[in-house]
């Protein structure tokens, strides 16, 4: 099966990951920029099915530190809802910016989630947070019509 991935086309400053790898990619990007190893304008962070990685303070700091940051979510993927959202101090919270794809992940069938006054860019109940009751592991293992494991085996992630 050809996956047609071209990782050499990515900038050397592109950081990506799926699931727990997305959380690690988020932390790595934050470390690279925060430590002065990479300029924020030269770094791109794109994660797939990333769980909540930190609390609200981390989310705010991440937003202030990483200019180009997108968390891609797939319809009813369960993992972006783990750990549970908790707005209390120290509770888990997403950083910016969710790109929410509906079930089929058609190229133009997505929403760049804007949040609201209370949860700007972080937690948007019009996107995947609005579906947390009906989640599925099926939507976690398959993104853009490909099983993520196959992408990894082919060296695409």
Contact present, 109 and 101 (Cβ < 8 Å): yes
- Residue 136 φ then ψ, to 5°: -150, 135
CA atoms within 13 A on the CB side of 70: 14
Which residues are tagged catalytic? Answer: 19, 77, 140
Half-sphere exposure of 152 (CA within 13 A, CB side): 12
The DSSP 8-state label assigned to residue 139 in this structure reads H
End-to-end CA, the chain: 16
């Amino acid at each position: 099966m050809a996956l047609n991935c071209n990782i050499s086309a990515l900038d050397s400053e592109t950081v990506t990951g799926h699931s727990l790898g997305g959380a690690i990619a988020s932390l790595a990007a934050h470390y690279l920029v925060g430590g002065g190893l990479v300029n924020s304008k030269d770094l791109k962070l794109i994660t797939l099915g990333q769980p909540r990685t930190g609390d609200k303070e981390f989310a705010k700091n991440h937003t202030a530190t990483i200019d180009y940051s997108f968390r891609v979510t797939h319809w009813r993927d369960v993992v972006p809802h783990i750990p549970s959202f908790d707005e209390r101090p120290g509770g888990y919270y997403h950083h910016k910016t969710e790109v929410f794809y509906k079930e089929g992940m058609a190229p133009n069938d997505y929403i760049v989630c804007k949040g609201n006054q209370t949860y700007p860019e972080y937690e948007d109940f019009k996107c995947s947070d609005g579906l947390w009751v009906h989640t599925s592991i099926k939507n976690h293992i398959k993104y853009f019509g490909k099983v993520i494991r196959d992408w990894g085996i082919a060296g695409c992630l």
